[in-house]
């Protein structure tokens, strides 16, 4: 038994009879179950309930056992003073407010049809399955599927924007400095994100800004902070950067003590930290104030033009300092730019719009539908049970569904799960 099941029963009024009674025999009529509260405080807020023909407006708290009220320390929490009805599966203890008044109790195990509980129990007999719903999920209508995935996508934007807002506040509410850290972190791809971010945090952004007019100096600081310049078998380019770095390190009093080492392990050569840092440097030398440019981007092509940069000429024939390789193109690929848009640009614009009251929601919706679906093992699993993603909006939604619903078995918080159980 999970509390989610009780929330489901209450929210959708899955009672065996409309004639309900409290544990002490008072008649109950649920006028409005209230709004499901996913934050701290009572489980449902703004409910309307008639108890013995007297209408009560307030909040509802649900527990497996009545005594859980005490275990969860609600008696000493003022947020629970407004609870008008305690809904439980098993009533094992009388509960009172701090002023001594009794809180009416509705015991669900006496008021739920056995068929509902059997459907719920059968749904969770999934030990041999990836998901409890994998054999039934295709029965969910396209309307429910589209609406739920759109909601999940915006939930994911909210989730990502929390981190961005944290960066924004740490950077004295400077959007340009915030974007700089977000971009360098994502240029590190998954394996070097922490390392690249530590480079950005080792030196004030205003110091980096002073280097945006000089590509070689900016590269010198980035490579130097990444500890990529102190090698034995270097060349003239590496020696020149090292000399510049030592000069700039002294001039700006730069420290590299908090740096997290980069790795080349299991990376394709085009994603080596050397290539990515040079591409990043060229991006900032080309645009300098990228955030203001981002605000003017409206279409996918606008973003592709903004990120139309490549690594310095040296890296056309090198992957590492001092080791020549076959000449190749070092332009940022569209697939990499798509990841930057998904993981940095759209969440940043979303939280910027929310913070400033600017209207970007239509632009974000259009862009996310235009971007191609991602591809990973999770999305392949969803596809194998009949839920494939047509675009980046749906792939982002399914990733969020997996991370925050399926993997946590929050089926009764999921529109797919609720729809399947209801039918």
Q: Are residues 81 and 216 in the same domain?
A: no
Q: Are residues 297 and 211 in the same domain?
A: yes
Q: Could you give the angle at the alpha carbon of 1 between the alpha carbons of 37 and 140, nearest 5°?
A: 65
Contact 146, 62 (CB under 8 A): no
Q: What is the pLDDT of residue 38?
A: 84
The structure tokens listed for 385 are: 């049970």
In a domain, 199, yes or no: yes
Q: Are residues 221 and 325 in the same domain?
A: yes
Q: What is the pLDDT of residue 124?
A: 67
Mean pLDDT by 10 residues, the chain (423 residues): 87 88 94 91 94 94 95 90 94 88 92 80 69 87 95 94 93 96 95 94 93 97 94 89 95 84 90 97 95 92 97 96 93 96 94 86 90 94 94 97 91 89 78
What DSSP line would sit under 95-112, residue for residue?
Answer: -B-TTSPBPPEEEGGGTS
CA-based nearest residue to 282, from 378, 368, 197, 217: 217
Q: What is the pLDDT of residue 68?
A: 95
Q: Are residues 91 and 186 in the same domain?
A: no
Q: What is the pLDDT of residue 422?
A: 79
In a domain, 149, yes or no: no
Burial grade of 306 (CB within 10 A; 0-12, 13-18, 19 or more): buried
| Beta carbons within 8 Å of 145's beta carbon, 6+ residues apart | 387, 416
Q: Are residues 42 and 162 in the same domain?
A: no
Q: Are residues 187 and 306 in the same domain?
A: yes
Query: CA-CA-CA-CA torsion for 292, 295, 300, 306, nearest 10 degrees?
Result: 0
Q: Are residues 66 and 192 in the same domain?
A: no
Q: Are residues 219 and 110 in the same domain?
A: no
Pairing mode, strands 44-51 and 35-36? antiparallel
Q: What is the pLDDT of residue 120?
A: 75
Contact 367, 344 (CB under 8 A): no
In a domain, 403, yes or no: no
Alpha-carbon gap, residue 277 to 222, rounded angstroms: 7
In a domain, 26, yes or no: yes
Q: Are residues 345 and 248 in the same domain?
A: yes
Alpha-carbon gap, residue 5 to 402, rounded angstroms: 20
49 is in which domain, residue-wise? 3-123
In a domain, 205, yes or no: yes
CA-based nearest residue to 278, from 216, 191, 341: 216
Q: Are residues 162 and 98 in the same domain?
A: no
Q: Are residues 113 and 199 in the same domain?
A: no
CA-based nearest residue to 197, from 186, 187, 185: 185
| Total number of domains constituting the chain | 2
Q: Are residues 194 and 335 in the same domain?
A: yes
In a domain, 404, yes or no: no
Q: What is the pLDDT of residue 127?
A: 57
Taking CA atoms, 347 is separated from 39, 341, 360, in Å, by: 22, 8, 11
In a domain, 141, yes or no: no
Element (H, E) at 179: helix 175-187
Query: CA-CA-CA-CA torsion for 156, 298, 353, 145, nearest 10 degrees?
Result: -30
Taking CA atoms, 64 is separated from 1, 5, 49, in Å, by: 8, 10, 21
In a domain, 376, yes or no: no
Q: What pTM does this model have?
A: 0.78
The structure tokens listed for 259 are: 């740096």
Q: What is the pLDDT of residue 126?
A: 61
Question: Maximum Cα–Cα distance for the chain, whole Å?
Answer: 89
Structure-token match 């529109």, residue found: 415
């Amino acid at each position: 038994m999970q509390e989610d099941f009780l929330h489901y029963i209450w929210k959708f009024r899955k009672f065996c009879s409309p004639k309900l009674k409290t544990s002490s025999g008072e008649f109950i009529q649920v006028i409005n179950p209230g709004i499901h509260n996913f934050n701290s405080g009572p489980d449902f807020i703004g409910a309307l309930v008639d108890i013995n023909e007297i209408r009560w407006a307030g909040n509802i708290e649900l527990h497996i056992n009545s005594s859980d009220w005490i275990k969860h320390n609600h008696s000493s929490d003022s947020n629970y003073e407004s609870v008008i009805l305690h809904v439980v599966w098993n009533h094992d203890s009388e509960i009172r407010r701090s002023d001594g008044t009794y809180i009416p109790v509705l015991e669900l195990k006496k008021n739920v049809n056995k068929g509902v509980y059997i459907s719920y129990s059968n749904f969770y007999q999934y030990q041999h399955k990836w998901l409890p719903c994998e054999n039934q999920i295709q029965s969910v209508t396209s309307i429910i599927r589209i609406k739920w995935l759109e909601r999940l996508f915006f939930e994911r934007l909210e989730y990502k924007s929390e981190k961005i807002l944290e960066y924004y506040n740490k950077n004295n509410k400077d959007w340009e400095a915030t974007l700089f850290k977000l971009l360098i972190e994502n240029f590190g791809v998954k394996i070097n994100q922490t390392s690249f971010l530590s480079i950005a945090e080792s030196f004030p952004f205003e110091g980096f800004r002073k280097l945006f007019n000089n590509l070689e100096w900016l590269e010198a600081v980035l490579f130097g902070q990444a500890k990529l310049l102190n090698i034995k078998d270097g060349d003239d380019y590496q020696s020149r950067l090292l000399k510049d770095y030592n000069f700039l390190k002294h001039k700006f009093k730069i420290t590299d003590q908090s740096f997290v080492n980069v790795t080349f392990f299991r990376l394709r050569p085009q994603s080596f930290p050397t290539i990515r840092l040079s591409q990043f440097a060229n991006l900032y030398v080309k645009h300098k104030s990228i955030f203001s440019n981002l605000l003017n981007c409206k279409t996918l092509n606008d973003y592709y033009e903004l990120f139309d940069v490549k690594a310095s000429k040296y890296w056309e024939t090198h992957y590492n300092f001092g080791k020549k390789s076959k000449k190749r193109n070092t332009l940022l690929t569209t697939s990499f730019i798509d990841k930057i848009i998904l993981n940095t640009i759209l969440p940043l614009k979303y939280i910027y719009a929310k913070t400033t009251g600017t209207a970007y929601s239509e632009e974000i919706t259009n862009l996310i539908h235009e971007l191609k679906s991602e591809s990973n093992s999770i999305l392949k699993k969803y596809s194998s049970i009949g839920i494939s993603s047509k675009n980046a909006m749906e792939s982002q939604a399914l990733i969020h569904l997996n991370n925050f619903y399926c993997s946590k078995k929050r089926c009764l918080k999921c529109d797919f799960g609720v729809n399947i159980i209801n039918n």
